[in-house]
Amino acid sequence: MDRLRQMFNVVADGNGNASAASIKRHILASGIQLDDFRLSITMERLGALGEGPISFESFVALVGDELLMLKRTFNRELVIPDWEEYCTDLRMIHDRVANDRSGNNANYIPILRDADPEKWGVAVCSVDGQRLEIGDVDVYHSIQSVSKPLTYAYAIEREGPEFLQSYVGVEPSGRPFNSLELLPDMRPFNPCVNAGAIMTAGVVASSWPEKDARAITGEIMKLWSELCGEVAPVRFSEETMLSERETADNNFAIAYLLRGGKGLPRGVDLHKMLDLYLSCCSIEMTASMLSVAAATLANGGVCPITGRQVLTTDVVKKTLSVMQAAGMYDSAGVFTLEVGLPAKSGVAGAVMTVVPNLMGLATFSPRLDSYGNSVRGVAFCRQLVELFTFHIYDSLSGGRTGCKRDPRASQHNRKQRDLSDLQWAVSHGDRYATKVRDLLLECMIAITLADGEIEEPEIVIMAETYVEIMGHQPKQGELHAMARASQEQIAISGSGPFEQLLQRLRDECLQLDDNAREMILEAAFRVACADGIIEPEEDFQLRGIADALCINEGVLELEIARFQRQRAAQPSVVAG
Ligand code: GLN
C-alpha cells in the first residue's frame, strides 16, 4: 500500500484528492502521450470517471492493470527522468539553430525547389516512448534518401545479408551521393548512396517477380508504418515520383553501369529496379513520424509506441552500422567525428538520427549544404552532442567531455550525493575534497566581488552552500570577513586576485574529476544568480571559471538557463 500511496501523493492535491486532469498532467510531463498503448485501460477508465475528485480508493482501482507503467511514469523512472528539463534544453537548441538561413533547397524538381525553406521542426522519441515535438514536425515531405537504410534493412531481412552484400558493399564512399563511381569489383560502395540504394532496390525487386514496383513500395511503406508506430499515415507523392522519373538521367546512368558491370540480381528489369528506387524516395512522412522510426532503431527494432518487434535486432545493428559509415554521404567522416551517431539525411531536408538505447531524433529543414544534408539538421545534431554525452565515444571513461550532461541520470540526485560525499570526506580530512572545497569557496567569493560589492543575497547563498559542504553553519561573520579580505586584495591589485584564481584552477584542472569541476562551477553561479539576474561582470567571471576548468561553453549556458529557471520557479530559496 505504501508505494501506491506514494504514487497517489504525486497526483493528489491539498485535500487529498486526485483528478483526471492532474493524472493526465503528470503523464504528459513525463513525456508519455495520453494515447500510449501502455496506458489505454487507465485512460479509458479516467474518461468514464469524468472530472470529479478521485479518492485514494478509486485511484487504486483505477491504476491496477497498468501499475508498473504508471509507477515508472509518476516516479520519473523512464529512460529520461527529467523530461521537461530535457525538452527545455532541446527547445533552446532548436531556437538557436533557427537563425541559420544558409544553404539552399534542392532544386532539381519543382516540389523540392518550391518547398518553404523556413520550415523547421525537431521531433524526439525516447526508447520509452517519451515524445517531444518542436516546430514544423507535421509537414509531410518526401523522405528521399532517408528511405535508403530501411530499404537496406528490408532487403537483408528478406534476402539475407550475404546475398545483398554480394551486390552492394558496406564501405564508406567518400563520394557525393549521386556519384557514378563503384568499388573495383563493380559493386556500389554502400546502400546509403544512390548506386547502392538502386542496387538494393534491384535485389528487393528481383525477389518479388510477381509484384510491380509500386506494389513492392506498398510493402516497404507498411514497414515504415510499423516502424513509426502508425502515429500518422505513411503517404506516397505522385508528384514527386513523376518529377523524379523525368529528372533521373543520372540514376539511369548508374543503373546501366550496374547492369553492364556486375549485372543485376536475378536479371531483374532495369526499369522496375529504378522505379522501386524512385518510388521509395517519393514516400512522404513527417519529422514526427521519422522520430518514432528512429526510436525503433534506437530500441533494437522494437517500436516504443506499439511494443511490436518490427525488425530483428541483428538487422538493426547492421542498418545502424551502415548509417554510421555512410548515412551523411561524403561528410559521413566529419559527422562521425563531430556527432558520432548513425544518421541518414535526404534532399527534401530530413535528417533522422539514432542515439542507441536512448532516443530517435528527426529534424526537417529544407535548406541543404554542399553535401546535400540539411544545414539546420546537421547543426542541431552538432549542438546536441556538444551539450549531451551522446557521441559514441563520450562513453570513454576517465576522459574529459567538457562536463556534458547525461539526461539518463538524475542530475539533481547526483549533485546532492556529490555534495554530501564532499562533506563527509572533508570532515575526515581528505586532501582532494579539501582542495575542492577551497576552490569552491574561493570561486564563490570571487563572484560575490565581481561587481565590487558584497551583497546580502550572495552571502545567503554562500552560507547555504557552505552548510552543504561543511555540515555546519559558518561562524558569525566568517563569510563577510573572507569576502572583505578579498575585497581589500582587489583594491590593491585590481583583477590580479581573480587572474591568480583562474591560474590556480587551470593548474588544478587536470587533477579534478568532472564532478568536482562541475560542483565548483555550480557553486559559482548559484552566487551569480543570487539576486535573480546575472550581471555582465558575473557572466564574464563565470565564463572565465568555466574556461579554466575545461567546461564547454554550451554546457555553461545550458546550466545558467536551467538555474535561472529554477530560481524563477522557487524565489523563496533566496530567502533561505
Ligand atoms: N531522389 C534523389 C536522387 O535519387 C535522392 C537523393 C538524396 O536524397 N540524397 O537523386
Each residue's pLDDT tens digit, 159-180: 999 999 999 999 998 889 999 9
Whether 400 is covered by a domain: the verdict is: no
Question: Residues with Cβ < 8 Å from 183, sequence gap 6 or more?
Answer: 169, 171, 189
Which atom belonging to ligand 1 lies closest to the Cα atom of 281?
A: 1
pLDDT of residue 338: 96
Pocket-testing residue among 177, 328, 368, 371, ligand 1, by greatest number of atoms within 8 A of Cβ: 177
Residue where one domain finishes, among candidates 357, 388, 419: 388
The verdict on 153 and 26 lying in the same domain is no
Task: Walk across the sheet containing 235-236 and list its strands.
Answer: 141-142, 283-285, 235-236
pLDDT (0 to 100) of residue 117 = 98
* DSSP secondary structure of 410-464: -HHHHHHHHHHHHHHHHHTT-HHHHHHHHHHHHHHHHHHTTTS---HHHHHHHHH
Mean pLDDT of 270-287: 98
On whether both 438 and 555 belong to a single domain, the answer is yes
Q: How far is the CA of 328 from the centre of ligand 1 (A)?
A: 12
- Give the tens place of pLDDT for each residue, 380-394: 999 999 999 999 998
Tell me the pLDDT band of 412, cut-offs 50, 70 and 90.
low
Please report, for the domain that includes residue 70, its CATH number: 1.10.238.210
Q: Determine which of 2-6, 199-203, 519-523 has the lowest per-residue pLDDT on average.
A: 2-6
237 lines ligand 1 (CB under 6 A): no
For residues 64 and 195, state if they share a domain. no
Number of domains in the chain: 3
Cα separation, 451 vs 461, whole angstroms:
16
What's the 291 CA to ligand 1 centre distance in angstroms?
A: 20
Judge whether 359 lies within some domain.
yes
Q: At what angle do helices 83-98 and 553-569 cross, to 10 degrees?
A: 120
Q: Are residues 172 and 48 in the same domain?
A: no
Whether residues 32 and 133 share a domain: the answer is no
- Long-range contacts at 252-258 (CB < 8 A, ≥ 24 apart): 253/180, 254/178, 254/180, 254/194, 254/195, 254/198, 255/198, 257/180, 257/182, 257/195, 258/182, 258/186, 258/188, 258/195, 258/198, 258/199, 258/202
Q: Is the pLDDT of residue 572 over 70?
A: no
Nearest protein CA to atom 4 of ligand 1, as residue = 194
Is any ligand 1 atom within 6 A of the Cβ of residue 281? Answer: yes
CA gap 147, 244 in Å, rounded: 14
The residue whose grid cell reads 558575473 is 538
Question: Are both 172 and 240 inside the same structural domain?
Answer: yes
Select the more confidently predicted residue: 294 or 423. Answer: 294
Question: 192: Cβ below 6 Å to ligand 1?
Answer: no
Cα of 200 vs centre of ligand 1, distance in Å, is 14
**395 domain residue, yes or no:** no
Mutate to test the pocket of ligand 1, among 143, 151, 194, 250 (most ligand atoms within 8 A of CB): 194
How much is the pLDDT for 203? 98
Domain match, 435 and 344 both? no
Flag whether pLDDT at 301 surpasses 90: yes
Check residue 399 and give its pLDDT: 67
CATH of the domain at 373: 3.40.710.10
Task: Reply yes or no on whether the pLDDT at 573 is more than 70.
Answer: no
Number of other CB atoms surrounding residue 472 within 10 Å: 9
pLDDT at 214: 97
Residue 564: how many other CB atoms lie within 10 Å: 16
CB 349 within 8 A of CB 115: yes
**Are residues 377 and 417 part of one domain?**
no
Residue 372 in contact with ligand 1 by CB distance below 6 A: yes
Q: Are residues 361 and 437 in the same domain?
A: no
- Residue 281 alpha carbon to ligand 1 centre in Å: 7
Ligand 1 contact via 330 beta carbon (within 6 Å): no
Which residue has better confidence, 76 or 3? Answer: 76
pLDDT tier at 576, thresholds 50, 70, 90: very low
145 CB near ligand 1 (under 6 Å): yes
- Under 8 Å between Cβ of 220 and 151: yes
Q: Which domain holds residue 45?
A: 2-74
Phi, psi of 368 (to 5 degrees): -110, 155
Residue 199: inside a domain, yes or no? yes
Q: Is 296 a domain residue?
A: yes
- Position 571 confidence tier, pLDDT thresholds 50, 70, 90: low
Residue 81 domain flag: no
Per-residue pLDDT at 455 exceeds 90: no
pTM for this entry = 0.88
Centre of ligand 1 to C-alpha 215, Å, is 21
Report the separation in Å between the CA atom of 248 and the middle of ligand 1, taken as the mean of its atom positions: 10
pLDDT of residue 410: 66
Is 432 within a domain? yes
Q: Which of 332, 354, 388 is the last residue of a domain?
A: 388
CB 563 within 8 A of CB 525: yes
Atom of ligand 1 nearest to the CA of 251: 4
* Ligand 1, atom 6, residue with closest C-alpha: 145
Cell numbers that stand for 23 in this block: 493524472
Would you place residue 411 in the very low, low, confident or very high pLDDT band (cuts 50, 70, 90)? low
Alpha-carbon distance values, 530 to 30, 89, 527, 571, 576 (Å): 29, 22, 5, 10, 11
- Range name among 298-302, 421-425, 437-441 with the lowest pLDDT average: 421-425
Please indicate, yes or no, whether residues 70 and 101 belong to a single structural domain of this protein.
no
CA of 277, closest atom in ligand 1 = 4
Kindly indicate the confidence band of residue 413, based on its pLDDT and cuts at 50, 70 and 90: low
Range in 106-120, 181-195, 358-372, 407-421 with the lowest mean pLDDT: 407-421
Is the pLDDT at 456 greater than 60? The verdict is yes
Residue with CA nearest ligand 1 atom 2: 144
Q: How far is the CA of 143 from the centre of ligand 1 (A)?
A: 9
Query: What is the number of the ligand 1 atom nearest to the C-alpha of 194?
Result: 4
Residues 42 and 113 in one domain: no
- The x, y and z cell numbers of residue 93, run together, are 537548441
What digits encode the pLDDT tens for the residues 340-374? 999 999 999 999 999 999 999 999 999 999 999 99
Q: Do residues 200 and 168 make contact, with C-beta atoms less than 8 angstroms apart? A: yes
Q: Which of 388, 422, 442 is the last residue of a domain?
A: 388
Look at 287-296, 336-345, 412-421, 480-489 and tell me which has the smallest mean pLDDT: 412-421
Task: Note whether 187 and 328 are same-domain residues.
Answer: yes
517 domain residue, yes or no? yes
Check: CB of residue 336 under 8 Å from CB of residue 353. Answer: no
Give 222-243 pLDDT, tens digit per residue. Answer: 999 999 999 999 999 999 999 9
> Ligand 1: which of 178, 193, 284, 369 to mutate, most ligand atoms within 8 Å of CB?
178
Q: Output the pLDDT for position 450.
A: 87
Q: Are 279 and 217 in contact (CB under 8 A)?
A: yes
Percentage with pLDDT > 90 across the chain = 66
CA 117/CA 549 separation, integer angstroms = 40
